[in-house]
Amino acid sequence: MPVGGEPAKAPEPPRTSTDTEESEVPVWRKSEQPEATQEPREPSRSSSPSYRETGDGLSPAALSLVREADQLLAQGNVSGAIARLERAQRIAPRSAEVYFKLSEAYVAGDQLGSAEQFTLKGLSLAGSDTRLQRAGWLLLADIRRARGNVAGADQAEARAAAL
């Protein structure tokens, strides 16, 4: 409780216009604006849903970089592997597989915080691909266990088992 004994009040949301009706709901984020005020989208994507069933597949260039990274990891060159995987990520930014590989490379470099974040990003891109989801949840469980988060690891394993 703030000084003075009164509970803190949430700030008023910003108004979009001062001379509008009181019943108008203010717009907080661009994603909440009415469809007419958003930037026009490409016609080819307007009929598709705003989410994807699965992330993007790997292009030949990205796949080549992932394979190079695997070889570098096997040789113990973690920083070289991460550099290749970051390039693959720029080529295929919606590929869950690249994020999971990046996570594995960060685990090898003992950077578990980054590894967990990349795993979570990969899971967000896995869509309805149960194979990728299961792999991601198991990877997350291993990372969380290594970080000492046993409860989080158990939850991730339960999510993998439910798939």
Print the domain residue range for 104. 60-162
Per-residue pLDDT at 13: 54
Which of the pair, 62 or 51, is modelled with greater confidence? 62
Pair 130, 114: CB distance under 8 Å? no
Has residue 158 been placed in a domain? yes
Which of the pair, 11 or 132, is modelled with greater confidence? 132
Closest Cα to residue 119, out of 95, 135, 98, 100? 100
pLDDT tens-digit map of 21-57:
444 444 444 444 445 444 444 434 333 333 334 456 7
Has residue 31 been placed in a domain? no
Has residue 119 been placed in a domain? yes
Has residue 15 been placed in a domain? no
Per-residue pLDDT at 132: 93
Q: Which residues contact 70 (CB under 8 A, 6 or more apart)?
A: 81, 101
Query: What's the pLDDT band for 58 if we cut at 50, 70, 90?
Result: confident
Has residue 23 been placed in a domain? no
Has residue 127 been placed in a domain? yes
Q: Which residues contact 82 (CB under 8 A, 6 or more apart)?
A: 69, 102, 105, 106, 109
Has residue 146 been placed in a domain? yes
Has residue 9 been placed in a domain? no
Q: How far apart are CA 137 and CA 163, in angstroms?
A: 10
> What's 121's domain CATH number?
1.25.40.10
Q: How many domains, the chain? A: 1
